[in-house]
Amino acid sequence: MINQRASTINVNQMRDMLSTSGLNIGVEVEELTKFARMYQTYESAQHEIATKLENLDAEFQMNYNHNPIHHLEGRMKDPQSLFGKLQRKNLPMTVDIIPDNIFDIAGIRVITNYIDDIYTVERLLVAQDDVTLLKRKDYVENPKPSGYRSLHLVVEIPVFRSTGVERVPVEIQIRTIGMDMWASLEHKLRYKTDAERADEFADNLIGYANELNQIEQNFQNIHREL
């Protein structure tokens, strides 16, 4: 059910990627090995959360004959953009700095059927004893000026490894089908559009975001009545 957009990487691949990336980072082999271990832990955390979400969805279906989740997407931030982010934030290139500063290494996008489902998924997930909510930004309640809507959470969960337990953050974006459609298209358009025409499109895109939201409210109302 989960669409994975990137898969595990090993230390050798990572070293090759970084050496061809043009990023001039003096990362030692030892540090890189440590990084690969950490990266894999984050990937496990992503799988744990995906399983939790699938189980919640299945239980909800059994209880209420409704699936809140349309589908899940998982993505791991690739090491190159992770190291790029450390550079941008003027942080040292060390593995130890990562857990307290970068929260989106492991990411899950939850696409829900209806607007209410966004908050159902959040409530059920955060209620679990081993899930700790670290950050929350509600761009559904307060859309971004661009028109972007989504509920962003960072949660922390324990991952059990051969060496013991580690607490790992996972970034979760929860949005409806309509919000996801808007965000995907807007994202693609943004790369294709030159600066001059961008402003012209921006107004339209805000309008489309509102229209999609209106349509989804209408669908929600029908669904509530059933």
Residue number with CB closer to ligand GTP (135 or 197): 135
Binding mask 150-189 for ligand GTP (x = CB under 6 A): --x------------------------------x--xx--
Q: How far apart are alpha carbons 206 and 203 in whole angstroms?
A: 5
Residue number with CB closer to ligand GTP (60 or 174): 174
| Interface of this chain with ligand GTP, residues 56 to 115, rule: CB under 6 A | 104
Residue number with CB closer to Mg ion (48 or 104): 104
Residues sharing a CB contact under 8 Å with residue 149, sequence separation 6 or more, in sequence order? 139, 140, 143, 175, 179, 182, 183, 209, 213
Residue 47 binding result from ligand GTP, Mg ion, none, given CB thresholds of 5 to 8 Å by partner type: none
Q: Indicate the DSSP class of residue 136.
A: E
Residues sharing a CB contact under 8 Å with residue 62, sequence separation 6 or more, in sequence order? none
Strand residues in the chain grouped as ranges (E): 2-4, 69-76, 106-112, 132-138, 151-161, 164-176
Give the CB-side neighbour count of residue 128, counting CA atoms within 13 A: 17
- The answer to whether 32 touches 14, Cβ cutoff 8 Å, is yes
Q: Using CA of residue 20, residue 84, residue 199, residue 212, what is the dihedral sign?
A: positive
Q: Tell me the site size for Mg ion, rule CB under 5 A.
A: 1
Residue number with CB closer to Mg ion (50 or 154): 154
Binding mask 92-111 for Mg ion (x = CB under 5 A): ------------x-------
Residue number with CB closer to ligand GTP (68 or 147): 147
Candidates 148, 149, 151, 180; binder of ligand GTP (CB under 6 A) is 148
Residue 83 binding result from Mg ion, ligand GTP, none, given CB thresholds of 5 to 8 Å by partner type: none
Binding site for Mg ion (CB under 5 A): 104
